[in-house]
Structure 1
């Protein structure tokens, strides 16, 4: 089988690429869920009034860092997956 760049793939290579694609798709879906859960948790944390201002700020910053980390990983996987789709 030939891709758009004149590269030939055998059946085993295609299966390997498909498996990698499926794994990345599953990871992307999982990251989406984690990001949404963090957004909800972040919103709840912002609403809490029982904590001191410093505790809330610290919790907010930690959640922001985790959210950005997950979002960056998600975007990297998504762009890599998109590149692979164009090759197939």
Structure 2
């Protein structure tokens, strides 16, 4: 028991990229329910930094949060007709 506590103090868990991943998730959810043209690019920016930090830091939880953020960014992009028009999928916006 004491050995496990000592090992956790020597090697703390790696949480690189978790905070930017959570911020990207929150911004993507805000982009789904409000102005997507403002929040989705910000979420994409935080996602890039979070994914970079988590891959370089070797954090599995950081990568998972960033993948969740990517899925939410895709949903937010599909929910915003303005963003679909910007990337050239305005026909998809008319069909939804």
Q: TM-score, normalised by structure 1?
A: 0.46
Higher-Rg member (1/2):
1
In the superposition, the TM-score normalised over structure 2's length comes to: 0.43
Which of structures 1 and 2 has the larger relative contact order (alpha carbons within 8 angstroms, sep 6+)?
Answer: 1
